[in-house]
Amino acid sequence: MRDNRVTRTISVAGSRKPEVKSVSKKDAIDVHFSIPNVSKRYKIGDIIGSGGNSTVVEAYDRDLKRIVAVKLLKSKYHKNERAVQRFLNEASITAMLQHPGVVPVYEVGFVGQNDFFFSMKKVEGVTLRDMLNKDASEKDLSELLNIFFAICETMAFAHEKGITHRDLKPENIMIEKYGSMLIMDWGLAKDAEGSEENYLSGTESNRFDVNESVEVTMNGEISGTPSYMSPEQSLGMMNKMNQRSDVFSLGILLYEIVSGHNPFTKAGHDNFREIFESIKHFKPPVLSRDFKGRKIRKELSAVCMKCLEKLPDDRYADARVLYKDLHCYRENRPVSAYRTGWKEETTKWMERKKKFLIVSALLITSLTLSYFYRKTAEAEISGILTVIERKMVNVDNKQDMIDKLKARFSGQRDKSVANILSSHEEQKRIEWQTAKDLILYLANTRESKVTDNQVKFLKQNWLKEIRYYLDKGFLFEADKSLDELEANVTKFSGDWEFTAREQEVINTYLRILGKVQGNRHARK
């Protein structure tokens, strides 16, 4: 018979010889790298929290001179191979999701015989549950919706990577002191791809492997938080869960944020069986008012109710599609979850373009008067060029003022300074938007009239606009703006083509957005 035993060699810093252990192939966990002894690198402090199979403690990292959080697998699970697999799976998935909305993992491994751990950033702040538990008079719906949009943006990133969280709830959402949001506890998460080769490229063997066949739950076992489960999750169909299940949980979060209560526990259900029955059979009332009794927009209600459809195929396919609809909602555009008539769409378009329409009306008036005075087509072009040049000067002046203010108040966090900078940024964006629209209009009607200087100004400031979106974390907007820029450069020729330096900047943006680099439009 073939020997089903394999040898695992584990080298632990501080030990004279590596320990050689024999385990079955079925149960083997491949952790084939040296890891420093936790007692030497980290000075352990107080317990921060404790979950079902792990404990989180504060620790001081002596090597990097900083406070971190260390998550330790509880001793009673040290010999439970499935618990260890789940623990390492959490560390692996969390580390793979390099995103501002996911807590970064610094180190993972084990010490001694079975003391598994991983270290990560120590998060300080409040949970979304703390914010939801406030009195209605103390809560701000706009603030809560901004947090929810950030949650969806993070989950859109995770879903794009093939990761399903499977335990989204307010207790697992942390809001830090300065407003940044982090999704915590990926212990039940599942990687649809199941193999590290799908997200590592051309490297040597990585620091630890999680086998493709690893399942964090057994068939028929229910894992998660009852009041935030999807119908399929409440039936114990964990292996059938996918990104649509996360969408259902996000729908519950959105319903609770807007209405002030969980849609499946308001009736007083106090045990998981009643909650499961409610999730499977009860259809929550359509959202119409928020927790303060104010009417909400029909589009937001439709988005929420689409997330809460009982059948997975009736929900959004994943958080990326949900986030796209939410982005349309924020911009007052039609959403896929709610059908609007042409009158509503026209109204929304006018509301979105309110500032632009005002500027356009003044511009059109100015151009019309100029036309009647001069009676020539060239007069119209001349008027547009004059406005463009003025707007270009205004943009440069505003940017110069912003740079001087930032230099003057460098290091200060005074709110009034932030407000002043924000005001100047908004004024600059209005001037830039007008200049951009006019240059593109002129290029489409009289391309020969657009000067080299105007093309250079357009490309430089357009790249700055994309950088602004990236710095703010608005990845969808950055991607859209970059596509528009490349489309216009492709449409025209000559000085419109990207210089080598401009293409280098674009490649950097593509890497940030996770896209394949290319030298399209690069000047030869």
Confidence of residue 265 (pLDDT cuts 50, 70, 90): confident
Sheet of strand 173-176, all strands in order from the earlier edge strand to the far edge: 125-127, 173-176, 181-183
Count the Cβ atoms, other than its own, within 10 Å of residue 86.
23
Query: What does the block give as tokens for 257?
Result: 């944020």
Which pair of structure tokens corresponds to residue 429? 């964006």
- With a pLDDT cut of 90, the percent of the chain lying above it is 35
| pLDDT above 70 for 352 | no
Q: Say which residues have a Cβ less than 8 Å from residue 298's Cβ, sequence separation at least 6.
A: 338
pLDDT at 316: 97
Q: Is the pLDDT at 355 greater than 70, yes or no? A: no
The tens digit of pLDDT for each residue in 47-103 reads 988 877 888 999 999 889 999 999 988 888 888 888 888 888 899 999 999 999 999
In the block, which residue shows the tokens 């060699």?
Answer: 9
Residue 507 contacts residue 517 (beta carbons within 8 Å)? yes
- pLDDT attached to residue 38: 58
Top-confidence range, 8-22, 263-277, 305-319 = 305-319
Task: Tell if the pTM clears 0.75, that is, is over it.
Answer: no
Is the pLDDT score of 194 beyond 70?
A: no
Q: What would the pLDDT profile of 425-477 be if each residue is shown by its tens digit?
A: 888 888 889 888 888 888 888 878 888 888 899 999 999 889 888 988 889 89
pLDDT for residue 229 = 92
By mean pLDDT, which of 152-166, 265-279, 322-336, 499-513 is the weakest? 265-279
Q: Tell me the average pLDDT across 307-312.
A: 95
Instruction: Dump the DSSP string for 369-428.
Output: HHHHHH-SHHHHHHHHHHHHHHHHHHHHHHHHHHHHHHHHTTT---HHHHHHHHHHHHHH
| Cβ 422 vs Cβ 386: under 8 Å | no
DSSP-derived secondary structure letter, 518: -
Interatomic CA distance for residues 36 and 442, integer angstroms: 64
**pLDDT for the residue 340:** 65
Q: Please name which of 120, 135, 127 lies closest in space to residue 58, comparing C-alpha atoms.
A: 120
**Residue 177 banded pLDDT, cuts 50, 70, 90:** confident
Q: What is the pLDDT of residues 199-248, one digit of tens each?
A: 333 333 332 333 332 223 333 345 667 899 999 988 878 777 899 999 99
Q: In which band, very low, low, confident or very high, does the pLDDT at 338 lie, cut at 50, 70 and 90?
A: confident
Contact yes or no for 171/123 (Cβ under 8 A): no
DSSP letter string, 136-165? GGG--HHHHHHHHHHHHHHHHHHHHTTEE-
